[in-house]
């Protein structure tokens, strides 16, 4: 998979009155290099239509497109990959279905991260780092301590997620994260492109400060 720095996930509740496609295009134009469609409430046909539109958009910009949970929809629109939670289809079974497409796995503890790496995940989500309102079934915050554990031990790419804002992202980067996912802070912003550029500037500054620290 192509490496990435800034990951955006759909969340239409954070931008009422603004079309999803317009919002996600602003995120891409601001520098997000991986986009995930996450929609757990809409009818499947509606999710499919959103996936088709986002696939066209991400292909136009050369950005990686991931579908959360809906493996059938990911295959139907030829998404680049899928993202699964701990209670979803096991990675080994998902791999039989999607072949060499990207598979990301949400993790909340080092044991889950280790297992995802062993099972062949292409990347893992690490979080929620801070309290978040982006998901209803969210687990307790894992804090930057878990980010630090993963940065020290896990060798596959990981993205820190959950409650990350411009005012606290430096703590996450200091713990060893090199890839950030922000949801409400990006797509709920009044200036999405500027917010994305601010995140990327912080990621770049942390990378320069760490010098030769390897990216993981």
CATH number of the domain that residue 166 is part of: 3.20.20.70
The catalytic site residues sit at 38, 106, 135
- Examine residue 84 and state whether it is found in any structural domain, yes or no: yes
Average pLDDT over residues 33-51: 97
- Examine residue 112 and state whether it is found in any structural domain, yes or no: no
- Examine residue 201 and state whether it is found in any structural domain, yes or no: yes
- Asked whether residue 212 carries a pLDDT value surpassing 60, the answer given is no
- Asked whether residue 215 carries a pLDDT value surpassing 70, the answer given is no
- Examine residue 198 and state whether it is found in any structural domain, yes or no: yes
Number of Cβ within 10 Å of residue 86's Cβ equals: 14
Nearest to 50 by CA among 115, 40, 170, 194: 40
The percent of residues above 70 in pLDDT, for the chain, comes to 96
- Examine residue 119 and state whether it is found in any structural domain, yes or no: no
- Asked whether residue 189 carries a pLDDT value surpassing 80, the answer given is yes
- Examine residue 49 and state whether it is found in any structural domain, yes or no: yes
Q: How far, in Å, CA of 201 to CA of 29, rounded? A: 15
162 — alpha (psi -120 to 50), left (phi > 0) or beta? Answer: left
Range of the domain at 179: 6-104+161-210
Residue 148: predicted pLDDT: 98
Residue 133: predicted pLDDT: 76
- Examine residue 118 and state whether it is found in any structural domain, yes or no: no
Answer with the residue of higher pLDDT: 136 or 92. Answer: 92
Number of domains making up the chain: 1
pTM of the model: 0.95
Average pLDDT over residues 149-163: 98
Residue 134: predicted pLDDT: 72
Whether the CB-CB separation of 66 and 102 falls below 8 Å is answered with yes
Whether the CB-CB separation of 51 and 69 falls below 8 Å is answered with no
Average pLDDT over residues 160-172: 98
Q: What is the mean pLDDT of the chain?
A: 95
Residue 137: predicted pLDDT: 66
- Asked whether residue 147 carries a pLDDT value surpassing 90, the answer given is yes
- Examine residue 66 and state whether it is found in any structural domain, yes or no: yes
């Amino acid at each position: 998979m192509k490496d990435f720095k800034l990951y955006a996930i759909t969340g239409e509740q954070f931008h009422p009155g603004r079309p999803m496609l317009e919002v996600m295009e602003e995120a891409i134009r601001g520098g997000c290099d991986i986009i995930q469609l996450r929609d757990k409430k809409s009818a499947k046909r509606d999710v499919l239509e959103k996936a088709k539109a986002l696939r066209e958009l991400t292909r136009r910009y050369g950005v990686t497109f991931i579908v959360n949970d809906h493996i059938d929809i990911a295959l139907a629109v030829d998404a680049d990959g899928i993202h699964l939670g701990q209670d979803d289809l096991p990675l080994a079974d998902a791999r039989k279905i999607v072949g060499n497409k990207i598979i990301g796995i949400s993790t909340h503890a080092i044991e889950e991260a280790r297992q995802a790496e062993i099972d062949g995940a292409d990347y893992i989500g690490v979080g929620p780092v801070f309290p978040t309102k982006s998901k209803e079934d969210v687990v307790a915050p894992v804090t930057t301590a878990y980010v630090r554990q993963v940065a020290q031990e896990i060798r596959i790419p990981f993205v820190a997620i959950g409650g990350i804002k411009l005012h606290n992202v430096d703590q996450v980067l200091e713990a060893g994260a090199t890839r950030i996912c922000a949801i409400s802070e990006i797509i709920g912003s009044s200036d999405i492109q500027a917010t994305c550029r601010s995140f990327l500037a912080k990621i770049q500054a942390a990378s320069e400060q760490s010098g030769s620290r390897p990216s993981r």
